[in-house]
Amino acid sequence: MLYYLFAYLDKYFDFPGAGMFNYISFRSAMAVFTALCIALFFGRRIICFLKKKQVGETVRNLDLEGQMSKQGTPTMGGIIILLSLLVPVLLFGDICNTYILLMMITTVWLGLIGFLDDYIKVFKKDKKGLHGKFKVLGQITLGLIVGLTFYFSDDIVVREHVTTSQPVAIQAEDSLSSVHEHKMVDVKSTTTTIPFVKENEFDYSWLIGWMGDDAKDFVWIVFVLVIIFIITAVSNGANITDGLDGLAAGTSSIVGITLGVLAYLSGNTIYAEYLNIMYIPYTGELVIFISAFIGATVGFLWYNTYPAQVFMGDTGSLSIGGIIAVYAILIRKELLIPILCGIFLAENISVMIQVSWFKYTKKKYGKGRRIFLMSPLHHHYQKKGYPEPKIVTRFWIIGIMLAVVTIVTLKMR
């Protein structure tokens, strides 16, 4: 809202300093600072309120070292993240921007699903929480909203080089010739960025190229299905990763910083041309959103680092996973997710391997066997005797390494 207020003051009253709100860099800095202040100032009050209402976590793996002390620690701390994220975006972002609207819908939608899950666990005393099929249904619905808006909205385009031929008269001969003219135009496209490839653009229509000319008519179905899969996988990956103090929040902060860099470069004509990457108009506002996201997750870490004073719960973990997925899709970097979100991927795969192998061996040998001491992966290292802070710190270091590799893919082709 402040963005519109100061734009009005600058336009009609030449108000001193109002012009600074035209700069994305200034509004991004303000978003980070505001998100941090909200998280730090209101975080304590929210935690006290949750304690008063006895919104405590029931720790299921009490055989792990140090887990008994976590019994009763307030959960639903994701409310701190959502509040710290949405308020700065409303203050400093252009909320009429389609990209910002999609990100806010994602935040609120998955935040509500996670909140409902936490509410059932805490107040209804049902450890299973919201049934898995309802979570997946919510993620699929969000995928449909994002995918269809992305595909059909005229505001979501990419800028491409287009070669046109124009006839010109040649004086020496009584004939017409043509010259080729190169210009940039905004076009609807289902292209995305593919890493480690020189011509690093991939069009989803290639997946159904065998359909010939009909591929253009049906590509939206493939596109939406891919988006649904990505949102579901990443949000569940973040949810699974939220098992140690500070692990999910810290990892998400690292991912957020990387996505902010990618969004800034993709939304700047000069840097996009220099790096020879896809230029995506109107995505500059996403830098403000991700700045608020970084401030919110770092501010939440103030209370969530070991020993945690509050857990984010599904209210936070489902929403931050969905935010990361949708953000990567909007800046057309979703194929970088396996690298950038390698921690989430490893956690997800460890659970899939453990469950699949246990079921297979139980069917074949009559007794289930395990590959990991416990899944997800971070609990495997707990079982091996590693202190919780050491596991979290090492996962963060790996996350930083993956973030560097992700950025390097801009030039390493």
Confidence of residue 132 (pLDDT cuts 50, 70, 90): confident
Q: Tens of pLDDT along 270-290?
A: 888 888 888 999 898 999 999
Per DSSP, helices labelled H in 246-368 are 247-266, 269-275, 285-304, 313-330, 337-340, 342-365
Is residue 343 predicted with pLDDT exceeding 90?
yes
pLDDT at 323 over 90: yes
- Report the pLDDT value the prediction gives residue 167, as an integer from 0 to 100: 60
User: What pLDDT does 177 receive?
Assistant: 55
Cβ–Cβ under 8 Å, residues 318 and 82: no
Which of 13-17, 65-69, 153-157 is predicted least confidently?
A: 65-69
pLDDT at residue 79 in the model: 95
DSSP element (H, E) containing 141: helix 132-152
**Please, which residues bridge with residue 175 across strands?**
170
The mean pLDDT of 346-375, rounded to a whole number, is 92
- Joined tokens for residue 67: 């887990």
Amino acid occupying residue 204: Y
**How many whole angstroms separate alpha carbon 38 and alpha carbon 138?**
28
Torsion of CA 333, 338, 340, 344, to 10 degrees: 130
Asked if pLDDT for residue 161 goes beyond 70, the answer is no
Mean pLDDT along residues 292-317: 93
314 or 59, higher pLDDT: 314
Backbone angles phi, psi at 126, to 5 degrees: -110, 105
Beta pairing partners, 193: 201
What's the rounded mean pLDDT across residues 255-279?
A: 91
d(CA 130, CA 139): 13
State how far Cα 159 lies from the chain centre: 23
Q: Using CB atoms within 10 Å of the CB of residue 149, give its burial: 0 to 12 exposed, 13 to 18 middle, 19+ buried.
A: middle
Query: What percentage of the chain exceeds 90 in pLDDT?
Result: 58
Q: Per-residue confidence at 172, pLDDT binned at 50, 70, 90?
A: very low
Q: 179 pLDDT exceeds 80?
A: no
Task: Say how far apart CA 317 and CA 313 lie, in whole Å.
Answer: 6
- The tens digit of pLDDT for each residue in 8-66 reads 787 778 777 778 888 899 999 999 999 999 999 999 999 998 888 777 666 656 566 65
Angle at 331 (CA atoms; ends 327, 333), nearest 5 degrees: 90
pLDDT band at 262 (very low <50, low <70, confident <90, very high): very high
pLDDT at 11: 75
Residue 263 and residue 257: Cα distance in Å, rounded? 10
pLDDT for residue 81: 96
Average pLDDT score, the chain: 87
How much is the average pLDDT of 147-162? 85
pLDDT at 82 > cutoff 60: yes
The answer to whether residue 163 scores a pLDDT higher than 80 is: no
pLDDT digits (tens, 9 = 90+) for 361-390: 999 888 889 999 998 999 999 999 899 999
CA distance 53 to 40: 21
State yes or no: pLDDT of 400 exceeds 50: yes
Given a contact cutoff of 8 angstroms between Cβ atoms, the answer to whether 260 and 171 are in contact is: no
